[in-house]
Amino acid sequence: MESENKVAIVTGAIKGIGFAIALELSRSGVKCVLPYYDWLDSLESMHRYIRETGIDYYAIPADLTCHKDVKKVIHSAHERFGRLDILINNIERGGWPLVHGPYVPEQWNLEFKTTVTAKRYLFEEALPLLKAHGNGVVVNISSIAGLVGRSGPAGLVFNDCYSLSNKAIQSLTETWARLGAPEVRVNELMLGFVDTRHGPGTRGWEIMSRQEQKAIIDHILLQRTGRVEEVAKMVRFMVFEAGFMTGSIIRMDGGYILGGDKTAPMPSGVVEPGEPTFGGSVPAEGAVKKTRSKS
């Protein structure tokens, strides 16, 4: 896919990962439609940096858990730019056990509706436009919470509904890849701990003790959290370079899933050179035949 004249919807672009993705795409020449709803203290900053790219964009207030607002966003993208080529499905909501404590119904419903239902609304409303020019792309952003759940060092971070919601996204990615083919590619980027998403600088991270923070870092093979710029560059690759990939999941977690245990060097062993190693010595061919004749 070439970036010239392309149009993208990037959700969650007001700050953090979504903002980094929108900035990366804008710098590549993509016109971005940027729905926003909360974190309004970051709105002015988003406008300033996106405007500095010199590429046209459109920011629109919308509650993407509301089907009516999703339709408004899709209609606005088509009305303003005449097309839609890229959907970055970055909307989610996750409540840390450490922050929110036991679930109340409102929190559970909000996490599922934001992380799963809003993504579905966006995909289904955007699909006809994405198919129209025969080269559409959807990137679903998900979390390793769907794999690890509320366990290990991440147990303070990934709550139950957030975990099951992210596990559900894999099923949607595969189903949507079938629905979109061959005109639209649908892939998933599964993230681990990133600076602005479950990492340093977030409210939940600051609440954890240093020992709890260290336990998470020690469990990451690369011994650090990810940077939003790294995520944005991966999304750009998935949009523009991965032309033969659909229905796939790329895991970008610094090795958290593999755990903090390192592979030890290969031991020298105790078998001497020339010593039989499996089941004793091998009899000569004549001895084998003699044994068989007796039996």
- Give burial (CB, 10 Å; 0-12/13-18/19+) of 111: buried
Helix, strand or coil, per DSSP, at residue 17: helix
Tens-digit pLDDT profile for residues 113-138: 999 999 999 999 999 999 999 999 99
- The CA distance from 206 to 165, in Å, is 25
7-252 domain in CATH 3.30.300.130?
A: no
Tell me how crowded residue 57 is: count the other CB atoms within 10 A of its CB: 23
Q: Where are the domains of the chain?
A: 7-252
| Percent share of the chain, pLDDT over 90 | 81
- Assessment of whether the complete model's pTM goes beyond 0.75: yes
Tell me how crowded residue 193 is: count the other CB atoms within 10 A of its CB: 25
- pLDDT score of 280: 59
Query: pLDDT band for position 295 (50/70/90)?
Result: very low
Residues 94, 121 contacting (CB under 8 angstroms): no
Q: Which H, E and C letters describe 88-155, residue by residue?
A: EECCCCCCCHHHHCCCCHHHHHHHHHHHHHHHHHHHHHHHHHHHHCCCEEEEEEEECHHHHCCCHHHH
Least confident segment among 3-7, 46-50, 155-159, 210-214: 3-7
